Structure 1
């Protein structure tokens, strides 16, 4: 039996596959070209359709554009991530709203009392928030690439410090920082090895 090449078995054409996955890299340096609000809005309008449990949508995105806002973030960023964050045209603080259940009445208007499903379970709410926001972040990375931009997600920072600085209300848990922009020439690093299908997939 003749099997078609893997890229021909996908609905996206080869160019789109490359843009989103094969040619995409985590960006460590950026050009000075700005990322405007229209681009960010277009990304959101695309990726907001991704699935979350109970349609919770707990991800909250804080965009840091001004030098003053960036200066507030940098002391909480690890030394290895500080310069790239200072030089990126846009940095997003990605947080989970642990009180996401407050939105359930409008998301489930046909289910009176929806908010009460999680009122007495704050630990369960936070676990749901973290899990679903992480899922949304994965979609956000792909959405940024779909806009022709590069994403530089980073975990090297002090979450508690960032939360005190930007989310003093206590209802947000910062999961990740993401620099966004057009990659500077020569800034891409070689792709590291990826696990093969046989190492990841088991069939029963």
Structure 2
């Protein structure tokens, strides 16, 4: 397998699409997101690195009218209409017992034993790494020509009880709408700091 793709940065247009020109959308055009696009997002995001390849993210894609309404009912008054208008909103959760999957996800060593008997450590690791996977989710969607609207502002316990009822060890992290953003729904871009503001090279 060639490693030549490491040699050059992505074209400026790709960097604009993923980062510099991409925005968080609050409204959506009436244009669907297909199941194929949903699968394509996951196929990209899963390739991002996680500790010991733990892959703790568990995602429910609220796409039907019923699922979107159920999610909206458990969200803040401000976020509910965004969810109802979006083609699909993903609930990005994390599995506290992710270590049960490590024998096949990280077969190089007995990684499962690292986490057994340490639920608090698993919670921290699962939350941190599912947050990473959530960031990969956003980048993947943008790379595929879609827009995103990540949100908190929902009742985590109520969402978990409804959407992860068959996975009682899964907890919701954040939610993210996906679709084709309505350009009238965004604000002026907020400031971004210069390098020296929050960075040191030592």
**TM-score (norm: length of structure 1):** 0.91
Instruction: Tell me which residue corresponds to 2:15.
Output: 17
Structure 1 position 86, deviation (Å): 0.8
Which residue among 93, 114, 124 is the counterpart of 1:117? Answer: 114
| Equivalent residue, structure 2, for 1:40 | 38
Aligned partner of residue 41 in structure 2, secondary structure: helix
Partners of 2:47 and 2:198 in 1: how far apart? 27
**1:29-178 pair list within 5 angstroms:** 29-111=27-109, 113-168=110-165, 169-178=167-176
List gaps (5 residues or longer) in structure 2.
Answer: 1-7
Larger radius of gyration: 1
Q: Separation in 2 of the partners of 1:142 and 1:16?
A: 11
Q: What is the distance in 2 between the residues matched to 1:71 and 1:183?
A: 20
Structure 1 unmatched runs, 5+: 1-9
1:54-87 per-residue CA deviation (whole Å, 9 max, x = no partner) reads: 1101011100111111121122100111111111
- Quote the Cα distance in structure 1 between the aligned partners of 2:108 and 2:90: 34
In structure 2, what is the Cα distance between the partners aligned to 1:114 and 1:190? 46
**Residues 71 and 83 in structure 2, CA contact (< 8 A), matched pair in contact too:** no
Q: Distance in 1 between matches of 2:126 and 2:144?
A: 26
| Distance apart, 1:27 and its partner CA | 0.8
Quick one: distance in 1 between partners of 2:186 and 2:115?
44
Equivalent residues, number: 194
- Distance in 1 (CA, whole Å) between partners of 2:82 and 2:106 is 41
Shift of 1:159: 0.6
- After superposition, the Cα gap between the structure-2 partners of 1:114 and 1:198, relative to the gap in structure 1 and judged at 3 Å, is closer
Report deviation, 1:156.
0.7
Q: Counterpart of 2:128 in 1: which secondary structure?
A: helix
**What is the Cα deviation at residue 136 of structure 1?**
0.8
Give yes or no for contact 2:52–2:111 (8 Å, CA) kept in 1.
no
TM-score (normalizing by structure 2): 0.92
Whether the 8 Å contact between 2:25 and 2:147 is mirrored in structure 1 is yes
